[in-house]
Amino acid sequence: MKRVIGIGNALTDMLVNLNSDTVLDRFRLPKGSMSLVDTQLQTEISKSVAGLPYSLSLGGSAGNTIRAMARLGCQVGFIGKVGPDTTGDFFIRALDNLGIEPHVFRGTERSGKCVSLISPDGERTMVTHLGAALELSATELGPALFAGYDCLYVEGYLVQDHALIRGAVQTAKACGLQVAIDLASFNIVDENRDFLRALVAEHVDILFANEDEAKAFTGEAEPLNALQSISELCPLAVVKIGTRGALIKNGGEVVHVGIMAAAKRVDTTGAGDFYAAGFLSGLCSGLTLRQCGTIGAITAGKVIEVVGTTFGEEAWDDVFRLVRKVEHEKYLF
């Protein structure tokens, strides 16, 4: 694996720092979940948090992963759809400026947005209006899109459109690519469990899940049992278990990798996305499972120290320094 192309919802993130979880209770939003809403409800929620500190950034689960991989030196591309608006212009320009090959289509609806509500303990609850992202269809994903790539990385949130996600992975596999998927939010897995299990068994080579997602996907409450269950469907399984690190299984090899303790836990937005970025960048460099897991832990540990998924050059320099140590096996968890 050398070149990775991601497919996902092209979104702009609005990150709001909450004083309490009252707004979650008011709108009956499960803490830590991702909910798809219409533009009216998203506007109501946005108005309810008016006056609180917020920031805007390029978002979307696969977009976060691909952006981080680009910073880690990987050759990457991104497939998505935006609206005929300035937000869409910004999204495409940002990809290009980051060295990401943009395969971005234009829809008729306005560009999608995700309101990420960040609780005082750093947990994030996402309220997403997909907008133009919903208009992306499997018929637009011809073989030419995948030429020159070795792996398709799929965000699990695309499961709202079964035909799209199935068409994407089928075309990628027909073109000789590996397929990696992140299961996204536990409630999304619950609602699409049978479809996801069939998709993984038939087409997926690499699967990422956190503890809750793995439980929803397999029915196994014990992470090690969930890991085993996932590995029976696809070759490489990764189950992230919070502060205990991650369990990784490839064939008969099972590895437990710890975490990199964050200086401060500010916001968990993008932690899973950045873990996948670090792990996949390790695979692109031909590293061992433990090295891949360690790089994933490094990138995830860094992103939770900031609000959103963008951090400064000093933090990236620290990431690069640690990654170099991992590559020489001088820094492993």
d(C-alpha 257, C-alpha 147), whole Å: 34
pLDDT in tens, 156-182: 989 989 999 999 999 999 999 999 999
What pLDDT sits at residue 55? 81
- The tokens 């018929």 sit on which residue? 139
- Residue 122: the pLDDT is 84
Find all residues with CB under 8 Å of 255, minimum gap 6, and list them: 247, 248, 249, 289, 290, 293
In this prediction, residue 184 carries a pLDDT of 82
Average pLDDT (139-153) is 97
Residue 221 pLDDT > 90: yes
Straight-line distance from the first to the last Cα atom of the chain, in angstroms, rounded to the nearest whole number: 24
CA dihedral 243, 249, 253, 258 (to 10 degrees): -10
| pTM across the whole model | 0.89
Tokens 């999608």 — which residue? Answer: 112
CB 215 within 8 A of CB 38: no
Give residue 333's pLDDT: 79
Half-sphere exposure of 207 (CA within 13 A, CB side): 30
> 3-11+59-111+131-327 maps to which CATH number?
3.40.1190.20
43 neighbors 69 (Cβ within 8 angstroms): no
Report how far residue 28's alpha carbon sits from residue 142's, in angstroms, rounded to the nearest whole number.
40
User: Is the model's pLDDT at 190 over the cut of 80?
Assistant: yes
Q: What is the pLDDT of residues 79-122, one digit of tens each?
A: 999 999 988 998 998 899 999 999 999 999 989 988 999 999 88
- Residue 86: the pLDDT is 87
- If you search the block for the tokens 């917020």, which residue do you land on? 54
> If DSSP codes are grouped into helix, strand and coil, which group holds residue 7?
strand
CA distances to 7, 133, 213, 263 from 117, in Å: 24, 21, 20, 22
pLDDT band at 266 (very low <50, low <70, confident <90, very high): confident
